Structures are given as structure tokens and as C-alpha cells.
Homo-oligomer: A and B are copies of this chain.
């Protein structure tokens, strides 16, 4: 089965999945068990780029309670030239005050020493429980242990080390055919929908051996993040620790010129990869049954965004999705809540192409066909407001018993 499994992602023509487990040229990675996870699983990961000419870009959670590694990386690292990335799972190093900042800086320094670069060229990320001091000695020992394992084939164990409660790995390797030759793109991510809040952080690391100017790396990551991770509603909650990094080593010798056909082709591949991974994040979680997509058209941009958020974040819509309940009243309720003061509301609603509401009023429809349609793995809701021009989409996970079970009894 293709990595690009969702009907909401266009599999790019110019890319092929690769199964050799190798990172793009110029990158080495490793993952080790440093003892942060009680079960002895891998919990410290390291990526090093050996190319001095690396370019990069990074994006972070906008939370007011950003974790120490987010603060250190965002404020003190050179985000357009990151040579190394060091990550631990099992502890978020968030709400840890001055000590947390010192610990994040220590991780960064240790990784920099191994990569042979100043700390400013290292990004650090942590995911796990909030409000507990990081066992920094164990982490730095883990970084040292990772140093000797670094290799071009180490992407999979790095991916393993950043996982927390993810039910499945979220990784892909793609070879992309460009006019000047073939480049590779690899992505490792962690994040699970509607599950395990303290571990719900999104971490995404992407590497390519294409040669790309810093401004273009920034642009590519910004555009593709906006169409992927910015469009998933997990549980409407913003993590302290979300981090997304794209590094380009240039080691393939294949250069991507700004505004070229090659850039468009590479952008399509990155876009598809990140969208599919975002959908995997929405779908992950023990017992998650299906994912939804809401498309909102008409009105103005602010209005469609508000409506898309309201539908995708609604626990009523999410539980209906979980139960395959064709209860479209919950959709119009969410739309109305997003647009206060606009009654009577001129809105059309279709679910899986079946019109259920026109101009704010119910439409007779085939209830049996609708009941069958909402049992699919992916369910699409289309909301059309009065007016033209604006359009957005949002992906969301369902809300089921497993979310309650896991979240109601997490730290105890």
C-alpha cells in the first residue's frame, strides 16, 4: 500500500518511495535508550548534517507556555543553518523554569560537541510529561552514546526515539526526480490524535540532500506547514513543545533554483508528504476509527476559518464521527456557534456529497445512504456559506472511549 493512502492527498508523480532506509546524502542519525522511558525504549535521538553549507528552517508552537527547548532553539539558535538536531522523549522539559533552560542548553551543547559545531547550529526538542525536571545526566549520557551510532541508515532508530504513545511510526523516504538529477526527502514525525495529552506534542523532522537557498527552505516549509499541520484539529489543544524542522544538505549536488519548475515539483512532494503525515497524526491513537475533513467555502476568509475550526474542534461532531452517526444537526450547530449574530443563517451542508441542508433548512435525503457514507474511514463535510471567494479545509480525528480511558488516568 502506498504511503499516500488518503484520498485527500495527491500522490506526486515525480517521487518514488524508497525502502533502503537511508537518509539523504550528508545526514547521519541515531537513537538510543537513555532511561527516560521506564520501559527501556529508545528515548534520545540525534541527527547530524555533515555539510557545512546546510540550509534550514524551523517552526514552533505559539503557546505562551513554550517549553525550555523551544525557547532556547527559537531564541538562541541560527534557524537557517541548523547542522544538528537533538531530541528526547519521556520528558517535555516544560514549566521547568531556569533549570529547564540550563538543561536545554546543556543538551544543545552536548550535541554540538558531537557534531563539531557551535551550539548555535543545533536545535533541541523534548516531548513528554510537563512540569518535571529533566534528568539531564541521563540525557547527556544518551547523547554521547548516540554519537558512536550515527550513520546514514539511522533514520529509523531516530524515528523510534522520538515516539511516545504513537500507535505507528510516521516516516517516509522519497526519491524526487528533478531536472538536474535525483534528490531524496526523508521525514520522521511523532504525534497522535486525541490521545495522551502530555505526549500530544507534534515533532516533525525533514531532511533533503537538495541544494536550496535559505529563503526558499523557509518558504517551502511555511507553505507546506500551513497546508498540513496547521490544518489538523487534534483536540483543539496547543502543545508547549511543537517543533518542525526542515534541513537541506545540498550534498546531492542537485540545486533547486528559486521559482523554478524544480522548486514547484519539490514543493509538491514536500506538501504531499507533510499532508499525509498530518493525516496520520489525526488518525493515530488507540481506537481512533476514522478521520474527517471539513471544507468551508463562501463568505470571507475569517468566516470560513472560524467555521472550519468550530466544526473540526466540536466534541459533538467528533463523537458523531466516532459513532458513525449521521447527525448533521451538530454540524449546523457548530457553524451557527462560529458565526454569532448572523441568524437566519444561509448555509448549505453536504456530507459525503449528500445534501442535508440548504439555505439553513433541512433537505429530504436518503438517510440510509447517509448512514452508510459516514461509516467510511474518511468522511468529508462540505459547508457553503453565502458569498464567494474564501475557502479552507480542516482535518480532524474522532473522539471515542479510548481518549477518555487514556486521558482520565494519565499521571496516576
Docked Cα-Cα span, A400 to B362, in Å, equals 31
Is A140 in contact with chain B by the CB < 8 A criterion? Answer: no
Q: A319-B403, A404-B399 are in contact. Are A410 and B333 (CB under 8 A)?
A: no
Docked Cα-Cα span, A238 to B411, in Å, equals 32
Q: Is the CB of A131 within 8 A of B356?
A: yes
Is A146 in contact with chain B by the CB < 8 A criterion? Answer: no
Q: A66-B336, A356-B131 are in contact. Are A325 and B411 (CB under 8 A)?
A: yes
Is A344 in contact with chain B by the CB < 8 A criterion? Answer: yes
* A329 CB contact (under 8 Å) in B129, B338, B412: B129
Number of interface residues of A (CB under 8 A): 77
Q: Is the CB of A326 within 8 A of B412?
A: yes
Pick from A16-24, A57-65, A106-114, A256-264 the stretch touching chain B.
A57-65
Is A71 in contact with chain B by the CB < 8 A criterion? Answer: yes
Q: Which residue of B lies closest to A97 (CB)?
A: B361
Q: Which residues of B contact A167 (CB under 8 A)?
A: none
Q: Is the CB of A316 within 8 A of B63?
A: no
Q: A329-B130, A357-B131 are in contact. Are A95 and B362 (CB under 8 A)?
A: yes
Query: Max chain B CB contacts within 10 Å: which of A100, A130, A326?
Result: A130
Q: Is the CB of B240 within 8 A of A336?
A: yes
Q: Is the CB of B95 within 8 A of A65?
A: no
Query: Max chain B CB contacts within 10 Å: which of A62, A240, A361, A371?
Result: A361
| Main SS class of interface, A | loop
Q: A316-B237, A361-B95, A361-B96 are in contact. Are A325 and B408 (CB under 8 A)?
A: yes
Is A38 in contact with chain B by the CB < 8 A criterion? Answer: no
Q: Which residues of B contact A95 (CB under 8 A)?
A: 329, 332, 357, 360-362
| Interface 1/0 per residue, A61-93 and B, CB below 8 Å | 011111000110000000000000000000010
Q: Is the CB of B412 within 8 A of A325?
A: yes
Query: Max chain B CB contacts within 10 Å: which of A131, A334, A335?
Result: A131
Is A1 in contact with chain B by the CB < 8 A criterion? Answer: no
Q: Which residues of B contact A330 (CB under 8 A)?
A: 130, 197-198
Q: Which residue of B lies closest to A342 (CB)?
A: B64
Docked Cα-Cα span, A405 to B405, in Å, equals 13
| Interface 1/0 per residue, A329-352 and B, CB below 8 Å | 110111111111111110100000
Q: A131-B332, A360-B95, A407-B320 are in contact. Are A63 and B401 (CB under 8 A)?
A: no
Docked Cα-Cα span, A335 to B66, in Å, equals 11
Docked Cα-Cα span, A197 to B336, in Å, equals 14
Docked Cα-Cα span, A335 to B240, in Å, equals 10
Q: Which residue of B lies closest to A200 (CB)?
A: B316
Docked Cα-Cα span, A240 to B362, in Å, equals 14
Docked Cα-Cα span, A323 to B412, in Å, equals 9
Is A253 in contact with chain B by the CB < 8 A criterion? Answer: no
Q: Which residue of B lies closest to A371 (CB)?
A: B412
Q: Which residues of B contact A66 (CB under 8 A)?
A: 336, 343-344
Q: Which residues of B contact A337 (CB under 8 A)?
A: 63-65, 237-238
Q: Is the CB of A197 within 8 A of B316?
A: yes
Q: Is the CB of A407 within 8 A of B315?
A: yes
Q: Which residues of B contact A412 (CB under 8 A)?
A: 323-326, 371
Interface residues of A in 163-182 (CB under 8 A from B): none
* A336 CB contact (under 8 Å) in B65, B96, B342: B65
Q: Is the CB of B316 within 8 A of A235?
A: yes
Q: Is the CB of A239 within 8 A of B333?
A: yes
Docked Cα-Cα span, A242 to B110, in Å, equals 58
* A409 CB contact (under 8 Å) in B132, B238, B325: B325
Q: Is the CB of B64 within 8 A of A339?
A: yes
7 A-B Cβ contacts within 8 A?
A62-B340, A63-B333, A95-B357, A129-B329, A131-B357, A237-B334, A401-B404
Q: Which 3 A-B pairs have the closest CB atoms?
A: A65-B336, A97-B361, A323-B408
